[in-house]
């Protein structure tokens, strides 16, 4: 059984809308996935905001870091750990 999945873009857009993110906010995402959501959130919170994403799967975290850096998202913090602990 897979431990990670990709949400449809319409669902991601709705979730981001419901979060009511604003420039300058600090965001903690539990479940890094590909980093796509973190990148979208960083765009919304802007230069004055900060996004941290955490995932329990170390191999996934390594991949997410590579993908985000390749896309130019140097500021997003990607952590390998258990999101239960925040």
Q: Show which residues are catalytic.
A: 7
Length of the chain: 86
Show the CA angle centred on residue 84, arms to residues 74 and 54, nearest 5°: 15
Burial class of residue 55 in the structure, from the number of CB atoms within 10 Å of its CB (0-12 exposed, 13-18 middle, 19+ buried): buried
CA atoms within 13 A on the CB side of 56: 7
């Amino acid at each position: 059984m897979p431990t990670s999945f990709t949400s449809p873009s319409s669902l991601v857009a709705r979730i981001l809308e419901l979060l009511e993110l604003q420039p300058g906010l600090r965001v903690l995402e539990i479940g890094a996935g590909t980093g796509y959501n973190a990148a979208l959130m960083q765009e919304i919170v802007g230069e004055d905001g900060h996004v941290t994403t955490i995932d329990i799967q170390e191999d996934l975290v390594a991949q997410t870091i590579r993908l985000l850096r390749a896309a130019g998202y140097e500021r997003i913090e990607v952590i390998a750990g258990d999101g239960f602990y925040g």
